[in-house]
Amino acid sequence: MSESAVSHQLRALRAVRLVGYQKRGRKVFYRLQDRHVFELYRSVAEHLDEPEDS
């Protein structure tokens, strides 16, 4: 994705309060606001790492 597309997606996630952000100088750091969303993300990531059954 382009930088502007990522920025647009992060803005949308901020609008629905799924992510928070903190500015440090010119850099912006994003974090998931909801622990449940983080656990869902982790579960999906683990599932994608599992080998497929043949």
- pLDDT at residue 50, rounded to an integer: 82
Query: Are the C-beta atoms of residues 22 and 33 closer than 8 Å to each other?
Result: no
Q: Phi then psi for 2, rounded to 5 degrees?
A: -75, 160
Query: Are the C-beta atoms of residues 14 and 20 closer than 8 Å to each other?
Result: yes
Looking at residue 2, the DSSP 8-state letter turns out to be -
Which residue(s) pair with 32 in the sheet?
A: 19
Sorted by where each starts, the structural domains of the chain and their CATH numbers stand as 3-49 (1.10.10.10)
- pLDDT at residue 22, rounded to an integer: 95
Its pTM stands at: 0.64
Query: If pLDDT is split at 50, 70 and 90, which confidence band does 44 have?
Result: very high
- Tokens (6 digits) for 41: 């993300």
Q: What is the pLDDT of residues 3-40, one digit of tens each?
A: 999 999 999 999 999 999 999 999 999 999 989 988 99
